[in-house]
Amino acid sequence: MREIKFRAWDKLKKEFVEPYQYGLRFGSDGSFLLIDKEDIRWESDIISIMQFTGIKDKNGKEIYEGDIFDSPSKNKFYVKWWKDGWYYNNVKDEEEHVSGRLLEIAEDWEVIGNIYENLELLKKRTKK
């Protein structure tokens, strides 16, 4: 059974916050709240939550939704949940397209960043 873990990106402060220092509550509509010790709340429009995929890259680093890979061909890919599992998507492709299943490449590829701290990596992609 896979470990269920999350990380959280504070869109205002532009930094990761540890969701387990707070109360993490999910709504049935996909919304969520982070509640700290003083009952201050952060809502979905301020915080982005990323789930751990249960998979590690070639260096043993945990892979989360939104992580960016550098492929052997030097194309950039990012991790996303799509329909029935974890996939990687070539950043040149449409949102509703996936390039392949994450399990196919994870042990051979390296996480080099994420879509929150390293968005510039997606802009430096190679062109076909």
- Please report, for the chain, the start and end positions of each structural domain, with discontinuous segments joined by +: 6-123
Neighbour tally for 6: CB within 10 Å: 17
For the cut 80, the answer to whether the pLDDT of residue 15 exceeds it is yes
Looking at residue 128, its pLDDT comes to: 44
Pick the CATH number of 6-123 from 1.10.3720.10, 1.10.1200.10, 1.10.510.10, 2.30.30.290: 2.30.30.290
Residue 125: pLDDT over 60: no
Query: In which band, very low, low, confident or very high, does the pLDDT at 42 lie, cut at 50, 70 and 90?
Result: low
Supply the mean pLDDT for the chain: 79
Residue 50 contacts by C-beta under 8 Å, 6 or more apart in sequence? 6, 7, 8, 9, 64, 65, 66, 114
Mind listing the pLDDT tens digit for each residue in 54-104?
Answer: 999 999 999 999 999 888 888 888 898 888 888 888 765 556 667 888 888
Q: Give CA–CA dist 36/40, Å, rounded.
A: 6
Average pLDDT over residues 32-47: 65
What DSSP string runs through 78-96? EEEEETTEEEEEETTS-TT
Average pLDDT over residues 4-28: 78
pTM of the model: 0.79
